[in-house]
Structure 1
Amino acid sequence: MNSSNRLGSGLMLQLLMLTALGITSSQGLSEEYLKDIKADQVAEQASGSYNYDQQGNDWEGTCQDGQQQSPVSLTSSAAIVTAIPRIYFYNYDQNLESPLILTNNGNTANMVLPPTQNGQRAYINGGLLPGTFEAQSVHFHWGSASSKGSEHTINSERYDVEMHIVHKNIRYQTVSEASAYADGLAVLGVMFRAVNRIFSLHSGLIRIFNQLPQIVEYESSTEVTGRLTVQQLLGNIKTGEFYSYNGSLTTPDCAESVTWTVFKDVVDLPERQIMKLWELKDSRSQPLTNNYRTLQDINDRPVYYTAQ
């Protein structure tokens, strides 16, 4: 195959993938990013069909039988207070490739994270992390007009939204591969609180939330344009205060492969922005609300807390 034919095949593959995502333009989307999005779709499909009708209590397999499941109740009185090293963030302040693709996969609003514009991925180490972990995606869990929806609770308080930034250990090639190993994944948990305020200084998060009305329908996607860094997803929280423990994914197959870092500090977002999440629909065209899993038994696992 000559170079022009290879180019044509590559463009055709891009167009097919974009059509499947409901995106009409390929401008600015790298082939690597499109492959990452496709891999994320395949992993989501492999998890099978599930819903939040019983907050995950009807999920089977490891979700039912595992001994290191998430989320859990995090309390300062029960945690082991110790001088854990800080979480160190690399390339978090670098602009990501643009545009980004935000998708309603029927269970959450999900955005696969591409490399930064310097060609490297945002990554983290430190804390209790057993290695170096690259940022892969970000998604959200939320409640409804009558209930709050964070997955973890902190000192018995459930917040309006919990954001998860998913990372994989650089030892592994894909998130799917990493999820098979105890040291495979690291997730940063960030709580959002709805406030009676019109404006927000968190421009990156607002750029994402402003696009939510474009993905109300199941399997719909939209572009998030403009400059965005992974650091902006954290708002202005104090990243030196966090809980950490070994747990699982909070969605099927609930693989026990996650080192959790849940920050104690909270991001305040205007309620009118958070309300946009309540409008999303699941695969049954039902309102996608209260997409959080019930709290799981800690089963004598140590939970650590540090404040720096």
Structure 2
Amino acid sequence: MTTIVDKDKSSIVIGSGDDRIAINLKQLTTPDQTESTAFSSILVEMGGIEIEIRRAKKKTPVRSASVTYRQNNHNKKTKAEEKLKLSQPPYWDYSMLYGPNMWSRIFPQLQRKKFQSPIQIYTDLCEYEPVLARHPFIFETDENCCQTLENTGHSFQVSGQGYSYITGGPVLDEYQFLQFHMHWGANDNEGSEHVIDGVRLPAELHIVTWNTNQYRTPQEAMASEQFGGLLVFAILIKIIPSDNSDIGKLFDHLSKISHKGEKRNLDHNIVSLRNLMPKKMQNYYTYDGSLTTPMCYESVRWVVFRDRMGISKRQLGQLRQLKYTCKTDKTTNGYITRNFRPLMPLNGRMVYRSFA
């Protein structure tokens, strides 16, 4: 049996599979003006039966909660999952209690997934695919793609609503920019999620785009569990002696979002998406996999560039000053220092390379 309590203690999920109980909690004020915690709704699923209990909005002389009972033998799982979506999602992070080694317990559906990311890539074992080099990337974006900078508690994230048109390489459909973020380690010998030829670098940049030909929204593309719903560009990061000016202005803004939940608007000259991409975009590895954070949807076609981006030790230190705690949290000043997922098994997947 699995019991999950989210971080703010507003919901509890007990059990897994088809037998689950979801309890939503809320703060109530009693007649003597003291606060107490009580349930707002309970959903019980057992086999083909669902029982839902909700707290009544008005006082009645007969009952203090409304109860709904229904029998469903055909589509029981879908309706139960829709109900569970109403509760707060389970809390996750990169710690021992809620980190990658516990994600399959926090999210039982991960136990059924086989094509996860990141992976170890060995160049000699990749299949050379000449057609990739003959199908170059088109990567067009405007200055409004990078409008906001946010501390998500897991990384920084840059997003925007500007024009973008991305296609080519291993895909034929058109894609639109969604966001970019980074992963890094506590020291200079770890941090990248993908490992190439046995070498793990200190950080990795992910540029996330979504398929606008096949899906109406980024969320639909993400949850499709169809490879190619998302196209994610991965750029591994190495240390260089001096600061990287292409990303330097952005990194200087990180101190303004040091706490989780903090968000700032960006001027159009702070960072250019195109300048973050390698000059030799034609050299890359590609494979089908997943997002590397929960819910780890298997909807990603990965492009892992062969060329690396360089940043200085000072700039790497700026990343490690970001915190996973809110500004109002007085109990800890925890820093985000190790936000990468361990390597996942390949499980028979083929990795292709565009270069000989």
TM-score scaled to structure 2, two decimals?
0.67
> After the TM superposition, which residues 145-156 of structure 1 pair with which residues of structure 2 at under 5 Å, given as runs?
145=187, 147-156=189-198
Residue 100 of structure 2 is aligned to residue 56 of structure 1: yes
Contact persistence 2:288–2:300 (CA under 8 A): yes
SS in 1 for 2:307: strand
Residue 160 of structure 2 is aligned to residue 113 of structure 1: yes
Q: Which has the higher helix share?
A: 1
Residue 228 of structure 2 is aligned to residue 186 of structure 1: no
1 CA distance for matches of 2:290 and 2:347?
Answer: 13
1 CA distance for matches of 2:188 and 2:307?
Answer: 23
Contact persistence 1:96–1:230 (CA under 8 A): no
> After the TM superposition, which residues 225-264 of structure 1 pair with which residues of structure 2 at under 5 Å, given as runs?
225-227=267-269, 228-234=271-277, 236-264=278-306
Query: Aligned residue for 1:73?
Result: 120
Work out which structure has the larger RCO, using CA pairs closer than 8 Å and 6 or more positions apart in sequence: 1
**CA gap 1:273/1:304 in 2 versus in 1, 3 angstroms:** same
Query: Aligned residue for 2:47?
Result: none
2 CA distance for matches of 1:82 and 1:162?
Answer: 25
SS in 2 for 1:167: strand
Residue 237 of structure 2 is aligned to residue 195 of structure 1: no
2 CA distance for matches of 1:281 and 1:74?
Answer: 31
Of 316, 338, 354, which aligns to 1:290? Answer: 338
**How many residues matched?**
254
Give, as a single letter, the amino acid of the residue that structure 1 aligns with 2:349: R
1 CA distance for matches of 2:223 and 2:263?
Answer: 29
Residue 216 of structure 2 is aligned to residue 173 of structure 1: yes
Residue 133 of structure 2 is aligned to residue 91 of structure 1: no
Of 150, 158, 169, which aligns to 1:103? Answer: 150
SS in 2 for 1:251: coil
Of 127, 132, 136, which aligns to 2:178? Answer: 136
Q: CA deviation at 1:285?
A: 4.1
Q: CA deviation at 1:46?
A: 7.0
**CA gap 1:158/1:112 in 2 versus in 1, 3 angstroms:** same
Give, as a single letter, the amino acid of the residue that structure 1 aligns with 2:312: P
SS in 2 for 1:141: strand
Q: Which has the higher strand share?
A: 2
SS in 2 for 1:91: strand
2 CA distance for matches of 1:130 and 1:165?
Answer: 18
TM-score scaled to structure 1, two decimals?
0.76
Give, as a single letter, the amino acid of the residue that structure 2 aligns with 1:80: E
Q: CA deviation at 1:90?
A: 3.6
1 CA distance for matches of 2:125 and 2:176?
Answer: 30
Of 153, 156, 167, which aligns to 1:125? Answer: 167
State the identity as a percent. 28
Contact persistence 1:145–1:278 (CA under 8 A): no
Give, as a single letter, the amino acid of the residue that structure 1 aligns with 2:120: S
2 CA distance for matches of 1:124 and 1:68?
Answer: 24
**CA gap 1:244/1:53 in 2 versus in 1, 3 angstroms:** same
**CA gap 1:175/1:285 in 2 versus in 1, 3 angstroms:** farther
**CA gap 1:146/1:244 in 2 versus in 1, 3 angstroms:** closer
Query: Aligned residue for 2:311?
Result: 269
Deviations 1:182-204 (A, max 9, x none): 1311100011112222x43x43x
**CA gap 1:47/1:230 in 2 versus in 1, 3 angstroms:** farther
Q: CA deviation at 1:146?
A: 5.4
**CA gap 1:186/1:289 in 2 versus in 1, 3 angstroms:** same
**CA gap 1:174/1:272 in 2 versus in 1, 3 angstroms:** same
Cα RMSD (Å) of the superposition? 2.2
Contact persistence 1:280–1:287 (CA under 8 A): yes
1 CA distance for matches of 2:305 and 2:145?
Answer: 26
Residue 323 of structure 2 is aligned to residue 278 of structure 1: no
SS in 1 for 2:143: coil
Query: Aligned residue for 1:221?
Result: 263
1 CA distance for matches of 2:145 and 2:353?
Answer: 34
Contact persistence 1:47–1:253 (CA under 8 A): no
Unaligned runs of 5+ in 2: 1-84, 326-331
Query: Aligned residue for 2:72?
Result: none
